[in-house]
Amino acid sequence: MTASWGLRKRNLFQVRARRIDLFGGALQSGFRAQYHRMSDEKFYGIGPASKEEDETNFAHKQAVGEIAIGRNIDNKFMTGVIAGIEHNMTRDGEDDATPSTKELFTDATLPGIQKEITMGRLQTGFYLDRRNRWFRPSSGFDGELRGGLFTELGDDEYGYTSVIVDINQYIHLFRNRILVLRVAGQFVDPLSDRAVPFYSLAELGSEETIRGFQRGRFRDRDVILGSLEYRYPIWRAIDALFFFDTGQVATSIFDDFKKDNLEYTYGGGFHLWGREGTLVRLEVGKSTDGFRFHFILNPSSQSRRSYVYF
């Protein structure tokens, strides 16, 4: 169970269970119930040309319930199906220093603003882990491929598919110096005659995508990104690191990719390791927008991966 509170009335409440054996361990299951109030989310526009000075803010309330069933083979290969329902509501943001998103956009110009939308979702995919160990992996790779169908319940105004791919390669250089290469992407396509809520678009600008920008800095249907990270140990369970991230958003990344639209960030930080992965991450990224500070507690449990249930 998780409960957290933040500034400007931000809060999160969650109950989750995972690794519940079925049929003598042949399958595993899990479930999650969550309410998340994000009271000061940022919106800058859609597309790679969105500008920092166009910042607006909105409040996004989301309630999620989902169940999962799948197979975990020695914590190395996980696959499964997740079915869920989510209820979304957007309202005025709590950040009085920036304009409200709803004052500048309507649902016709920005699908999902000032709306209550209930979506059903069905996701499937797999996660493959070929790293040599959980603690400070120094070789091997891990990767995820996930696809999902999201459709509005009770109406046919909103609906889309989403595909996510995320691959990390670990290379040992010398004396426990590690190079981590990452390539990832998300591809969101609306169903026929339907729209994608703007907060469900692919996103560039967070600690999980490109460090150095605000969360939600760039949004569009597709995003691709890559990163290069150099880690070296400074204590028994602490690594220092330097990183370089790049990526871009586009309506169709395969048709609209442009070198000039790539965004770049660089920076450094520290990782504190626990028994099952990174326990704490402390990072500072620099971009054209300035500096961005990240403090993430237990990021392994907050991963985008669906298969944490198994």
Contact 247, 209 (CB under 8 A): yes
Any idea where the domains of the chain sit in the sequence? Answer: 2-309
Give the span between the Cα atoms of 109 and 231, in whole angstroms.
Answer: 44
Phi, psi of 43 (to 5 degrees): -135, 125
How far is Cα 114 from Cα 119, in angstroms, rounded to an integer?
A: 16
Alpha helices (runs of H) in 84-144, residue ranges in sequence order = 101-104
pLDDT at 300: 53
Tens-digit pLDDT string for the chain (310 aa): 999 999 888 999 999 998 999 999 899 999 999 999 999 999 999 999 999 999 999 999 999 999 999 999 888 899 999 999 999 999 999 988 899 999 999 888 999 998 999 999 999 999 999 999 888 899 999 999 999 999 999 999 999 999 999 999 999 999 999 999 999 999 999 999 999 999 999 999 877 889 999 999 999 999 999 999 999 999 989 999 999 999 999 999 999 999 999 999 999 999 999 876 788 999 999 999 999 999 887 765 445 566 677 7
Q: How would you label 99-112 residue by residue, b for 16+ Cβ within 10 Å and e otherwise? A: ebbbeebebeebbb
Q: Which of 161, 131, 168 is nearest to 146 (CA)?
A: 161
The CA distance from 72 to 281, in Å, is 27
CA 237 to chain CA centroid, nearest Å? 26
**DSSP-assigned states of every residue in 82-93:** EEEEEEEEEEE-
Q: What is the largest CA-CA distance in the chain?
A: 59
Specify the pLDDT at position 79. 94
CB 309 within 8 A of CB 18: yes
Extended beta strands in the chain, E state: 2-5, 11-22, 27-43, 56-73, 77-92, 116-129, 140-152, 159-174, 177-190, 202-204, 218-220, 222-235, 238-250, 263-274, 277-287, 290-297
pLDDT of residue 303: 55
pLDDT at residue 285, rounded to an integer: 95
Q: Comparing C-alpha atoms, which of 305, 308, 19 is closest to residue 145? A: 305
| pLDDT at res. 302 | 47
Report the topology of domain 2-309.
Porin (2.40.160)
What is the C-alpha to C-alpha distance for residues 224 and 165, in angstroms, rounded to an integer? 9
